[in-house]
Structure 1
Amino acid sequence: MLKSFLLSKFATLVLFIGLAFIIIATARILVQKRTIDREVARIEAQMARMSNENEELSSLIQYLNTPEYKEKEAREKLNLAKEGEHVVVLPSSDEEVSGTTIVPSKSSNAKLWFNYFFNAQ
Structure 2
Amino acid sequence: MGEVSRDLSTLIRQEVELARAEIKQSARRAGKGAGMLGGAGYAGSMAVLFLSIALWWGLGHLIGNAWSAVIVAVIWGIVALVLFLLGRKQLQEVEGVPQTAETVKEIPDALKRNEAQS
TM-score of Structure 1 vs Structure 2, range by shorter chain: 0.3 to 0.5
TM-score, structure 1 length as denominator?
A: 0.42
> Looking at both structures, which has the greater relative contact order when contacts are Cα pairs under 8 Å and sequence separation is at least 6?
2
Higher helix residue share: 2
Structure ID, larger Rg: 1
Taking structure 2 as the reference length, what is the TM-score of the superposition? Answer: 0.43
